[in-house]
Amino acid sequence: MLQAPSFWQYYVFVALCVLLVIHLKKFNKRKRKWKSTAILLTFLFGGLSWFYTYRKNKKKCWFIAGLAVLTILFPVLISWKPEVFFEKLVYPLFGVSLAGQLLFKIISAIVVTLVAIPGFVWPLMHHLRLSSKFYENYYKS
């Protein structure tokens, strides 16, 4: 059975994010960006890779940061007391019948898809589409 991530898994994820920011800070001192780094960051962190090209993608960065906060807080709140989540939200809205459970799964799949498109597909296509010259000339313009 699939379980919610533990506190320590979230803690390790945040620690890795902090280490990545420190590492990227060293990259900024070199005054050069690489397309391969942008694509790798997209695979690792999804939409948070917009922060790699923050100077030219500020609106996208803050949109995806808000989306990330919402998508990270939701499972954290559920994992502490899942029975409260289901008793207070899911059962009153969808019921306990088989049809209600199916409707909940369909709506959950739609929500996950709506988060995945701006969170992973959009930045990946953006970074793949940009030429290497964009990253080489990032600090020149």
Mean pLDDT per block of 10 residues along the chain (141 residues) reads 70 80 69 82 84 87 82 70 75 81 82 78 90 84 65
Nearest to 79 by CA among 14, 13, 10: 10
For residue 65, the 8-state DSSP code is H
Q: What is the pTM of this model?
A: 0.59
